[in-house]
Amino acid sequence: MGDYRILVLPGDGIGPEVTAEGVRALQTVGARFGHTFELSEDLVGGAAIDAHGTALRQETIDAARLADAVLWGAVGGPQWDDPRGSVRPEQAILGIRAALGLWANLRPVRVDAALVGNSTLRPEVLAGVDIVVIRELTSGVYFGKPQERRTIEGRREAVDTMYYNETEVARVAHLGFQLARGRRGRLASVDKANVLDTSRLWREVVMEIRPQYPDVTYENVLVDAMAMHLIRRPAAFDVVITENLFGDILTDEASMLAGSLGMLPSASLRAGAGEATGLGLYEPIHGSAPDIAGQGIANPIGMLRCVALLLRHSLGLEAEAAAVEAAVGATIESGLRTADIAASGERPVSTREMADAVLGRISG
C-alpha cells in the first residue's frame, strides 16, 4: 500500500486533461522525495450521469472518506445543462462538499509578477496582491431549506433559504483570524448586514470572537462595497472571510486579478483552526470549459497549484508543496504561456508542454 491514498475525480470537459497533469505531478513528487501515492479514480459529474444516472455515487463518497485527499477536476457541460433536469453535474461537487463536511474553502489569489500585463487592470493596482479568501462552503443559501419550486394558485414561484447558525460562522471566523495571524495580520469579514439577518448574525459572532485576536487588524466590509474594493485596491486585503454565495461571486471576480481563471487553485477543508487538516478536496477554480475541452490547450497551472495545496494541507508535506510552487513560479518566469495567458503574437504552449516544463523543474 502507498504512503498516501489519493482519490482522483477528473469529471468533465477539461477536467480530465488537467487532472492527468496533476497526477503526473504527484508521481514526480513521489519519485523525487521517496513517497508512494496510491491513486484511485472514479467518475463524477456529467461523466457519472452518463455511466450511472447520477452525478455522485455513494461508492465515490465512501472512497473519499477513506482517502487522505481528493483531487478534483471540474464538472459540467452543455449536454447536461437542462436547468429543469433532476440530475445535474453540479450536484456532484455540492454533494461531496456536504457529504464530507468540507466547510472551509480556501481560495488564494496571488498575482504572478510576470503576468501583471495579463489582467485588465493597471499594473500599479496589482502590485503586491496576495489575498486568501475563506469561503464558507456547506451552508448559506446553497443548502438552506426550503429550496424548491412550486405552483400556488396557478402561478410558478421558487424559494431559496439563506441559513446560518453561530457554530458555522464561528469556525470560519477562527480560521480567518488564525490564518491572518500567520500572514500580514489583516482580516476582512464580508457580509450584507444592512439587509440580511444571516449577515447580522455573522457579523455579531465574528465581533464576539475578535477580542481573542487583538493582534489582527479587523474590518467589516459590505459585499457590494467589497466588489468595488477588489478591483480598486486589491492589494489592501490579506485574509477575507465570507459566506457561501458571496464567496462564490467574489472569488470569480478576484481571479481576474491574476489574469486567468486557469491559474488558481482551491482547497476545501473541514478542520478547525489549530487542528490537523486531514482530508481535503482540491480543485482548480476554473470550470470544465467545454469550448476548449479535448484540445490539449487548457492551462494546467491551477491544477498543479492544487497538488501543492494537497501536499501541504492534507499530507503535511511542506517541502514537497514548496517544490511544486517554485517549479510553477519558475516556469511562468521563463516565459512559457498557455493560450489563456499568452500575449498576442506569443506562441502558446499546450497543456502537456506547460506541465512538462513544471515537472522537469520538480525533478530537479
Give the residue numbers marked as catalytic: 142, 192, 224, 248, 252
If one asks whether residue 253 binds ligand IPM (CB under 6 A), the answer comes out as no
CB of 168 to ligand IPM, least distance (A): 16
Q: Which of 63, 94, 114, 273 binds ligand IPM (CB under 6 A)?
A: 94
Give the residue with the Cβ less far from ligand IPM, 84 or 156.
84
- Span from 89-97, 292-300, 334-342, 348-356 in contact with ligand IPM (CB under 6 A): 89-97
Give the residue with the Cβ less far from Mg ion, 243 or 325.
243
Considering only CA atoms, which of 157, 174, 125, 149 is closest in space to residue 275? Answer: 174
Residue count, binding to Mg ion (CB under 5 A): 1
If one asks whether residue 93 binds ligand IPM (CB under 6 A), the answer comes out as yes
CA-to-CA dists, residue 20 to 24, 27, 41, 349, angstroms: 6, 11, 11, 17
Query: Can you tell me whether residue 38 is helix, strand or coil?
Result: strand
CB of 93 to ligand IPM, least distance (A): 5
Considering only CA atoms, which of 121, 229, 103, 120 is closest in space to residue 168? Answer: 103
Rounded Cα gap, residues 78 and 324, in angstroms: 33
Give the residue with the Cβ less far from ligand IPM, 37 or 282.
282
State the residue for C-alpha cell 472512497.
63
- Span from 86-94, 143-151, 269-277, 317-325 in contact with ligand IPM (CB under 6 A): 86-94
If one asks whether residue 248 binds Mg ion (CB under 5 A), the answer comes out as yes
Rounded Cα gap, residues 266 and 247, in angstroms: 12
Rounded Cα gap, residues 312 and 303, in angstroms: 14
CB of 287 to ligand IPM, least distance (A): 7
300, 354 Cβ separation under 8 angstroms: yes
Rounded Cα gap, residues 174 and 178, in angstroms: 6
299, 338 Cβ separation under 8 angstroms: yes
If one asks whether residue 248 binds ligand IPM (CB under 6 A), the answer comes out as yes
Give the residue with the Cβ less far from ligand IPM, 252 or 356.
252
The option from Mg ion, ligand IPM, none interacting with 98 (CB < 5 to 8 A, set by class) reads none
Pairing status of strand 239-242 against strand 186-191: parallel
Q: For residue 27, what is its C-alpha cell?
A: 508521481
The option from Mg ion, ligand IPM, none interacting with 160 (CB < 5 to 8 A, set by class) reads none
Interacting residues with ligand IPM between 102 and 121 (CB under 6 A): none
Give the residue with the Cβ less far from ligand IPM, 44 or 93.
93
Rounded Cα gap, residues 321 and 323, in angstroms: 5
Binding site for ligand IPM (CB under 6 A): 90, 93-94, 248
